[in-house]
Structure 1
Amino acid sequence: MINSTQVIYFTLSAYLDIGQSKYLYFMLIMCLYVLIVGSNVLLIVVICVNRSLHEPMYIFLCSLFVNQLYGSSGLFPFLLVQILSDVHTVSAPLCFLQIFCVYTYASVEILSLAIMSYDRYVAICFPLQYNTIMTGRKVFLLIALTWIFPFLSTVVLISLSAPLQLCGNIIDKVYCGNYSIVKLSCSNTSINNIYGLILTVLSIMAPLILILYTYTKILEVCFSATKQTRQKAISTCTPHLASILNFCFSCCFQILQSRFKLSSVPPLLDIILSLYFLTCQPLLNPVLYGLKISTIRDAGKRLLCGDSAGPSGELISSAFHA
């Protein structure tokens, strides 16, 4: 039996032997990372420098983009090093650090999407009371909740996993996962499993229930509203819904992949789908929100082209406040 304090490194066994092709994959992953960083930073700057976008909807979006920078930075530099390396090992402290980054990223992402759906629910169902309900203080508290809870809950998760007695050090993935380490344990993992279940309910199921409730109410209002109001609601909610569906799909596959051995899935496809969880969301969201929401798109054009046209201090309300 190997005590966890004696495990100084883990071996990531999911990497394929790609020979000289590793340099091509390195360039592809590097370009993808640069694209993710560039697009998210651009939209963060657009929102920050335009006073007309300093509203709850865009502040929540800014928090979402910051989280995507954080999550992708927890994976891509590590992935780039591993692609060029012939020995795919990672030290135990770095492995737990990556688990912390990945789990907090996922939790912040789903909580951010849930809070954004609540913001859209208030804007559509209670447009006259929107400014009263979504005060600056409430926006600050909601954003603080989306970041503080995941960080604290993940610290507890890792503190339960780190002391486990392990019978091996081989992780069948291309990056570290908490459940992969728990499966290596020779000791009792009942507490880990119970806490993992509770954390799943609080971090995933509760936000999804809130999203389902808010969009049920939004649909009720849309069916009874005028055609113009319905079109405004659809134009603003479409990128949000697409982001939610994309994230839910990636989460479902990630859970299935972690809990079960999907032998019917080809190894390369298995790797791609495991990375989808951490790559597609940061890449897709800037495209969805940057191109679909006209206020962000127009502000971005003015920033990039140096065009300061438009009334000074103009207040652009959320797409369906009219």
Structure 2
Amino acid sequence: MSDVARLAGVATSTVSRALAVPGRVNEATRRRIAAAAEQLGYIPNAAAQSLRAGRSTNIMATLPGPNTNFGVAQIIPAVVQSLSATLSGSGFDLLFCNRNSPAAERHILGQAFDGAIRGVVVFGAAALPSYGRRSLTDAYIPIVSLLIDRSEAGIPSVVTNDRGAMRDGVLHLIALGHRSFLYVAGPPGSYHEAERFAGVLDALATAGLSARAVIRHGGCLGFNAGLEAGVEAAQTYLAMERRPTAVVCCADDAAISFIGTVRPHGVAVPGDVSVLGFDGAAVGAFCDPPLTSLAQPTRDLGIRAADVMLQLLEDVAAVPPLKTTLPSRLLLRASTGAPRRAPGERT
């Protein structure tokens, strides 16, 4: 800072004021100081600024660790990128903590209660961070839930329309002529699984089809076992006397491994069976055939979660929408098409 002051021809205290509270320094001086700082490559010490201001500029994002839901790991990097960029643009730093142990839960709570973080963005996980009898809500700092709806608990939530998107995807398959379905489920108790399977049933009801038109498979594997779920579903499909003409997966991981397992057995995708995934993972474009999927609005999810957090930080009495729902879109690729045989007929 003293180097900047010498180059700009002002006192060090003037540099400090210009960088911390620009309005307290006249425009000509502020510009001279900004030019000197840029020339020298000076970057203010964020920790020191936080100490002077008496409050942290850190926001924590808690990642779900071993409880990552099917497919969520595929989209988290894109969501994080827009979340971080939006917060950074307002002067906040994004820290990460992976919830993979009791020690991690204790660390999150410690940071929240000590004032080291100003708010927490909780990525898809079944429960909020807790340790012993303490929960994150006891720290009285802003919390935003991302990917899972916690609005009924009073926590602002930014989610996609899991149920409506899945309904639209299955209706597309029905419009192609499919009347029999295998649904590859996510783990029991999963928010995403409940919403997405409900969307499948909604589509069948809308089309006047019985719920018996879909066979639900799986739901017993852990949250991080999406690929294994697809393999198991493929093995079940291959053993069926009457094979469904369409497979709908709770997440892209399962859809990708399903395709990779059935094709070596002479099953044509989409000729014998169409496959639909959910999440819109980038890797889906490079499958053989490329995967039709319901793509989550990853960039907008991160931006909107950051906007809600910034609103809460700016005004503790702010009342942002408790639930913000952003639409996923049907990403049509080559893994879906009209069935070339009568529904229920064996290949």
TM-score computed with the length of structure 2 as normaliser: 0.27
Q: Which has the larger radius of gyration?
A: 2
The answer to which structure has the higher helix fraction is: 1
TM-score computed with the length of structure 1 as normaliser: 0.29
Greater length-normalized contact order (CA 8 Å, ≥ 6 residues apart): 1
